[in-house]
Structure formats: C-alpha cells, structure tokens
C-alpha cells in the first residue's frame, strides 16, 4: 500500500503547526507568570550563530507553505517577517494553516517524480524529485525549526515536555 504526497505532508504540517502554536502559548504564559518582557524569549538564540526564536517560527511556517507550494504548484502567500509578539507568531501559524487548508489534495498527489528546484542559500539552487524533496528536505527543514523553537523555550525554563512537542494542546486535555 502506498501513501499519497498529500497524506504524507498536509496533515503532518498542520498537526505540527498546531503543536507549535501550543508551544508559543506556553512560552507567553511563562513570561507573563514570571513577569518579564516576552521579547527576551522571542529574541533568544541557542548559540551566537543561530537564528533567534522568532525566525525559527517564521522559517518553520515558510518551510511548510513553500514546500507545499513547490510540490503542488499552488502559489503560497508571502509573509513580511514583521512578527514581534507571541500573538503575531500565532497569527502567522494560522495563516500558514489556512493556506495549507486551501491546497487541494489532487494538486499534491502524483507529484512524486516532479522536478522541484529550490533555493539553498543565497546563490544556489538544488533540484530533487517531489518525493525526495518532501521526505528529505521540506519535512526535515520544517521539523528542524520547530525543534529549535521548542529547545529555545525549554532552555529558558518554559515547562515543556515531549508531549507538548508531539501532541500540543491535546497533551494537556
């Protein structure tokens, strides 16, 4: 039995973005409970050469929407990267989910062998088949940035566990 490109991607992106939104709620609540400026979390980075929390969330959203757009051929919305609060980031996540919900499954399915050319850095591109791109680039990049956002909050004392990462709000229900 095979699975389709849409079933291998859209539900995963949407579920993990929901979990990311939950993680943001936990970060905002942590800052509020401890009475510090949430900007400290939003601008935190795990290492000097890593991107800060806000960019991790933005890139996770971009990885999902741009990956789906490249595979499906359905143009993705462009976001300005101006988010400055947890609420702004949650709105970006929701806009990303709204876009994913708008992409018909049949635009994704059957694209396993489609050539996908995408940027890698400022001056280079790479081409992979749709299936390879989804499995080895788009999903990996997406999960990396969600993991970094989780790790930044965890590193800063936000009470998060594996269940928050994997099940989001459902873990607390």
Give the pLDDT confidence of 67-99 residue by residue, as tens digits: 999 999 999 999 999 999 999 999 999 999 999
Looking at the 3D structure of the chain, how many domains does it have?
Answer: 1
- CATH code where residue 68 lies: 1.20.120.450
Q: What's the pLDDT at 100?
A: 98
Q: Compute the mean pLDDT over every residue in the chain, rounded to the nearest whole number.
A: 96
The answer to whether 138 and 63 are in contact (CB under 8 A) is: yes
Q: What's the pLDDT at 38?
A: 96
**What range defines the domain where residue 46 resides?**
5-171
Give the pLDDT band of residue 2 (cuts 50, 70, 90).
Answer: confident
Task: Give bridge partners of residue 122 from the DSSP assignment.
Answer: none
Mean pLDDT over residues 106-129, rounded? 96
Residue 139 to residue 50: CA distance in whole angstroms: 20
The answer to whether 17 and 61 are in contact (CB under 8 A) is: yes
Above 90 in pLDDT, residue 170? Answer: no
Mean pLDDT over residues 97-116, rounded? 98
Residue 58 to residue 155: CA distance in whole angstroms: 19
> Rounded to 5 degrees, what are φ and ψ at 129?
-70, 160
Give the pLDDT band of residue 39 (cuts 50, 70, 90).
Answer: very high
The answer to whether 25 and 151 are in contact (CB under 8 A) is: no
Above 70 in pLDDT, residue 173? Answer: no
Q: What's the pLDDT at 1?
A: 62
Angle (CA) 153-99-121 rounded to 5° is 65
Q: What's the pLDDT at 172?
A: 62
Mean pLDDT over residues 32-45, rounded? 97
Give the pLDDT band of residue 167 (cuts 50, 70, 90).
Answer: confident
The answer to whether 38 and 89 are in contact (CB under 8 A) is: no
Above 90 in pLDDT, residue 60? Answer: yes
């Amino acid at each position: 039995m095979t699975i389709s490109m849409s079933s291998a991607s859209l539900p995963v992106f949407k579920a993990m973005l929901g979990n990311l939104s939950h993680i943001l709620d936990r970060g905002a609540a942590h800052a509020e409970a401890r009475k510090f400026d949430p900007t400290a979390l939003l601008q935190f980075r795990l290492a000097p050469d890593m991107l800060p929390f806000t960019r991790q969330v933005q890139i996770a959203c971009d990885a999902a929407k741009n990956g789906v757009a490249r595979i499906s051929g359905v143009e993705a919305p462009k976001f300005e990267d101006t988010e400055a609060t947890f609420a702004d980031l949650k709105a970006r996540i929701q806009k990303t989910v709204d876009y994913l919900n708008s992409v018909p499954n049949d635009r994704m399915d059957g694209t396993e062998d489609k050539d996908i050319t995408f940027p890698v850095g400022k001056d280079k591109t790479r081409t992979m088949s749709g299936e390879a791109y989804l499995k080895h680039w788009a999903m990996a990049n997406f999960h990396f940035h969600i993991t970094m956002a989780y790790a930044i909050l965890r590193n800063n004392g936000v009470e998060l566990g594996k269940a928050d990462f994997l099940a989001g709000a459902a873990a607390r229900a």
